[in-house]
């Protein structure tokens, strides 16, 4: 005959996934806001990134910067250059180099398609955001074409006109 426990045990409470919104995938770890200003973003791809442990912890802490980074295809492999991931605070002598070249993980067929587009059409690969998905760091790469100065001005004019139109509509609804 089994003995009854003195205190009834409670099941372990589930961990709160909202505690760290970046790691839970609810918030981006890094966003390249200037990319949409400097480039026409034509098509977006999701890639994985080969990172060390201290790099993942730094990304989780929000210490990643995609501002001047770009993608490069070399020898049939995809690489991320100039992506700054700050050193981990509690790292030791084995901490990572902040600007090291990192390998992007993508299927071979997708890389072959990108090779054709980047070499023949004069397009480039720009990372637009870095985020977590199922506990893994992902980078959203955009196939981009550079904007000229007049293109940037035209985009700004359109954005201002759209904003003014939305404000006029909302003002007319409030007056009713």
pLDDT digits (tens, 9 = 90+) for 93-113: 778 878 888 899 989 888 888
Taking 60 as the threshold, does the pLDDT of residue 12 lie above it?
no
Strand segments, DSSP code E, in 32-123 are 39-49, 64-65, 70-74, 77-81, 84-85, 102-105
Q: In the structure, what pLDDT confidence band is assigned to residue 151 with cuts at 50, 70 and 90?
A: confident
- The band of 3, judged by pLDDT with boundaries at 50, 70 and 90, is low
Helices (H), 90-129: 108-120
Q: Which phi and psi (to 5°) does residue 14 adopt?
A: -70, 145
pTM for the whole thing? 0.72
The rounded mean pLDDT for the chain is 82
**The dihedral of CA 140, 146, 149, 153: what is its sign?**
negative
Looking at residues 47-75, what average pLDDT do you find? 87
| pLDDT band per the 50, 70, 90 thresholds, residue 127 | very high
* pLDDT at residue 86, as a whole number: 86
**CATH number of the domain at 25-147, out of 2.115.10.20, 2.40.50.460, 2.40.280.10, 3.40.50.300?**
2.40.280.10
pLDDT for the residue numbered 16: 55
- Using CA atoms, how far residue 33 sits from 28, 38, 90, 128, in Å, is 12, 10, 29, 7
pLDDT at 50 exceeding the cut of 70: yes
**CA-CA distance, 136 to 37, in Å (whole number)?**
28
């Amino acid at each position: 005959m089994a003995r009854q426990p003195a205190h009834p045990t409670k099941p372990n409470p589930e961990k709160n996934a909202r505690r760290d919104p970046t790691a839970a995938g609810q918030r981006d770890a890094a966003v390249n806001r200037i990319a949409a200003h400097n480039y026409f973003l034509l098509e977006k791809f999701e890639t994985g990134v080969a990172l060390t442990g201290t790099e993942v912890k730094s990304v989780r802490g929000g210490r990643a910067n995609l501002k001047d980074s770009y993608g490069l295809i070399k020898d049939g492999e995809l690489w991320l250059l100039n992506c700054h991931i700050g050193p981990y605070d509690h790292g030791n002598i084995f901490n990572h180099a902040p600007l090291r070249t990192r390998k992007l993980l993508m299927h071979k067929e997708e890389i072959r398609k990108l090779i054709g587009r980047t070499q023949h059409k004069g397009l480039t690969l720009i990372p637009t955001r870095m985020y977590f998905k199922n506990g893994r760091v992902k980078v959203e790469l955009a196939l981009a074409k550079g904007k000229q100065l007049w293109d940037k001005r035209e985009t700004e004019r359109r954005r201002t006109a759209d904003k003014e139109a939305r404000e006029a509509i909302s003002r007319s609804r409030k007056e009713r």
